[in-house]
Amino acid sequence: MKARIENYDFSGRRIIAISDIHGNLPYLKELLKLVSLRPDDVIIIVGDFMEKGDHSLETLRYLMNLKKSCELHALQGNCDSWTYEIDNPRPQSDKYLMYYMLSTAGEKGRSFLSQMAAELNLTLDESLSFSDVRPFIRENFKPELDFIRACPHIIRTERADFVHGGFPAGPEEFWDSWDCMKNDFFLSQGHKFSKWTVVGHTPSMLYGTGATSANPIFDHESKIISIDGGCSLIPVGQLNALIINPDGSFDFKSYDSFPVARALDDCERSSDFCYVRWGRNKIEILSEGEDFVEAKLRESGERLKILKSFLYRDQEGCLRSSDFGYCYLSVKKGDRLSVIEDSSLGYYVKKDGTAGLYRGRVEYI
């Protein structure tokens, strides 16, 4: 399907860009409080407002209601594009959709599709195909589906362009919508633009910039800003709001739900840094401590300590670690910290969006 592009002039107004909410409605509500919305602000949701979190359907409806009281534009991300499957029945696709609904029906129904089925009190089992469910969804969720159908894939403005994954190769008139939504690691592809391009999709942590940071990445050479904070996907993730001021300057606000504390001691940054990140997270345990393991990354051979709470086994039984940065942060007495875990290695914290360990005492605020 061809990518849909919309053009706007928002001169003189703040643009608030938020990406990859992933059904985390509590984070979105708290982030909007931090932004302190003004009557003339424009909100651009840079895709993936659904899936992975507990509140996909609620988040969609929240955005629909928010659009009634302020100017809001939402892009489709790869996790939002269910209407294509709903509008284009295909036997193999329908089989997969039912499998997906069944596999996500638990854990509070972490899927837009399973949450709709639950609201309709539909009983799902392996004898059904999505073709059995489709008529009920079409009939009962028309406003929600129409909202998604109306979402473009690219928004161009006078200060920045917005796309969930990134711009595909080739002439614009041939751009495919899926290639705009599912475009992994766009910041690393060597593109350069004359105007800022704002993307989500790939969490900023995954770029491995020498720190385990969930903050937006501003690449001034390429003029790309990557704003996905890993909300609902990365245990230490956050939800980011990029603020583009009328004069073209940038600010950003972030929200996570970790308890906040004040550092009572100084801590020096350690020289060693190792980041276990998605896609490169197979590990081999070398030895075990009280609440951590000494481990080796199978892909690179790097050695580090990982808190046991970050370990899990995949469907094949392979031992992996969720995104974890092994490094002691530079912390000064009085610094504000988000406390993720208290461990024998020290506190695992976030300081200004960057996760790492802290040797010292804290006082909760």
Q: What is the pLDDT of residue 205?
A: 93
User: Is 165 within 8 Å of 181 (Cβ atoms)?
Assistant: yes
pLDDT digits (tens, 9 = 90+) for 59-78: 999 999 999 999 999 999 99
Reduced to 3 states (helix: H, G, I; strand: E, B; else coil), residue 63 is: helix
**Which H or E element spans position 25?**
helix 25-35
Query: Are 201 and 227 a contacting pair, CB within 8 Å?
Result: no
Residues of the chain below pLDDT 50: none
* Structural domains in the chain, sorted by start: 5-80+151-255 (3.60.21.10), 83-145 (no CATH), 260-364 (no CATH)
Q: What span, in angstroms and rounded, lies between the C-alpha atoms of 205 and 258?
A: 18
Which one, of 197, 233, 236, 235, lies nearest residue 217 by Cα? 197
Nearest to 260 by CA among 332, 330, 347, 346: 347
Q: Name 49's Cβ contacts closer than 8 Å, sequence gap at least 6.
A: 21, 22, 23, 59, 60, 63, 74, 77, 79, 80
Identify the pLDDT of residue 197: 98
* Cβ partners under 8 Å of residue 85, min gap 6: 93, 97, 130
Is the distance from CB of 246 to CB of 38 less than 8 angstroms?
no
pLDDT of residue 126: 84
**What is the model's pTM?**
0.94
